Structure 1
Amino acid sequence: MKYQWILFDADETLFDFDIFAGLKLMFSRFDIDFDNNDFAFYQSVNKQLWVDYQQGLIDAAQLQHTRFLHWSEKLGVTTKRLNSDFLAAMADICQPLPGAKKLVSSLEGKATLGIITNGLTELQNVRLERTGFKSSFEHVVISEQFGKAKPDVSIFEHTFELMGNPDKNTVLMVGDNLHSDILGGVNAGIDTCWLNHHGKETVDGITPTFEVKDLHQLHDELHALK
């Protein structure tokens, strides 16, 4: 195996992350039929918040508060309650992506695995437990806990320290997001693999070391590398 360390993103890399399904389940528990128009409004706020978070303009607490402000006022409950309910619903519907279990299982004993995620702490730990992945990952670094989000180089450097500062040529970052996972890995000086589910073009001059369309292809590519 070429790489001694393989670092993964979480959402849409290891785990399915169907926001609409999670919101629909959460709001059904308030007897609300959350529809496509509601989702469009939510995303009009949420997407920009995640961009701001990744750029270090806001912190995780501000993101979680602001994205549910409209519904908090409408339902008369706190944004903190809505966030916890949402993350619980996301945990309830969480599934590993196709090929994730086979890939992780095949790498154990051949490379040491870790996760660097911009996702929120309350969800990550529950998902790792429920999917049986928890024991497979040596380190799980969560931006909300660390205080900086990918692509900030400091979250990668923090992870390298936890790993004992290995030779960067032996480390691979795998993720679906060009701007957080791939750019972050490139800036940190490690190889990157773009999990390009939808056949998109690279943008802004961000160039991964290689790319795959799914985790089945990644399994084959990694085991073919010498």
Structure 2
Amino acid sequence: MSRFDTVLWDIDQTLLDFNLSQVYALKESFQLFNLEMKDNTLALYADINHTYWRRHELGEVSKEELLTGRFRTLFKELRVSGVDIENFAAVYQKALGSVFYFRDDSYTLCDKLKGKVRQYAVTNGVTATQKNKLHLSGLDKILDGIFISEEIGCPKPQIEYFERCFARIPDFKKERTIIVGDSLSSDMQGGNNAKIACCWYNPEDKENTTALRIDYQIKNLWEVEKILDLSS
């Protein structure tokens, strides 16, 4: 019997390629607002966005502050004025949830695992955006549940987030659960906080400079099959 019967999947940049969706959404939003994208705009925004999400994980900014603050910072850096930030943020968020790109053919993997292990999405993303992406991708029909931080009431990696997720999983056992995600600060830190097995999805072979416990490290999502060892 496999050691694990429950898999917690991160969504953005794990099951789905968030970076590609981000590029699409930013280009679409700039075009709709008749704004010129400079050579450094994408990289600048990605860095600003990452910083805001990290601050949100630490409880320094609310989700509402994040959604508009990142664009205020971006346009300030670009020295662009006169943009309706609230409207721009709404347009961007809608565009972000209108496309999806699978990583490592994740749909086929999750579909293959369906019925063999329980699979849940654990995400800090915006509720409407995540639900739309998961619906369009068909993952919502495969997964056993979707835990979005806005609905849970707090974000990964806070222990409260995981405790509230665990309470919603029938016959839940920590020792039979593994989290798979790309983020050290969100997924792996969260797994450490919650005292469950941690599988770091690291396709770019990044260096881990933290003291976090990493039980498994993979470069392709299909390596999870071997970890689950469902044949035993």
Q: How far is 1:60 from its partner?
A: 0.3
Partner SS for 2:97? helix
Q: Which residue of 2 aligns with 1:133?
A: 139
What is the distance in 2 between the residues matched to 1:3 and 1:67? 38
Q: 1:159 aligns with which of 165, 170, 177?
A: 165
- Matched residue, 1:67: 70
**Residue in 1 that maps onto 2:29:** 26
1:83 offset after TM fit, Å?
2.0
Q: CA deviation at 1:71?
A: 4.4
> Which of 192, 199, 203 in structure 1 is aligned with 2:205?
199
- Residue 4 (str. 1) matches residue 10 (str. 2): no
Amino acid across the alignment from 1:145: E
Structure 2 alignment gaps of length 5 or more: none
- 2:18 aligned with 1:17, yes or no? yes
* Structure 2 partner of 1:55: 58
Identify the residue that residue 114 of structure 2 maps to in structure 1: 108
Q: Residues 26 and 219 from structure 1, CA distance in 2 versus in 1: closer, same or farther, beyond 3 angstroms?
A: farther
The alpha-carbon deviation at position 120 of structure 1 amounts to 1.2
Number of residue-to-residue matches in the alignment: 225
Q: TM-score normalized by structure 2?
A: 0.88
Show the counterpart of 2:87.
Answer: 81
The amino acid of 2:147's aligned partner reads: V
Q: What is the CA–CA distance in structure 1 between the aligned matches of 2:231 and 2:187, rounded to whole Å? A: 21
Does the CA contact (< 8 Å) of 1:194 and 1:208 recur in 2? yes
After superposition, the C-alpha distances for 1:146-180 in whole angstroms (9 at most, x for unaligned) are 23211111100000000035121111101001111
| Alignment equivalent of 1:46, drawn from 19, 27, 49 | 49
The match for 2:105 among 94, 99, 102 is: 99
Aligned-partner residue type, residue 81 of structure 2: K
* C-alpha distance 117-225 of structure 1, shift in aligned 2 (>3 A): farther
Q: What TM-score do you get using the length of structure 1 for normalisation?
A: 0.90
3-state SS of 1:7 partner = strand
Give the SS at the match of 1:23: helix
Which letter maps to 2:66? L
Residue equivalent to 1:121: 127
Where in structure 1 are there 5+ consecutive unaligned residues? none
Q: Please tell me the root mean square deviation across aligned C-alpha atoms, in Å.
A: 2.0
Determine if contact 1:8/1:174 at 8 Å carries over to the other structure: yes
SS in 2 for 1:74: coil
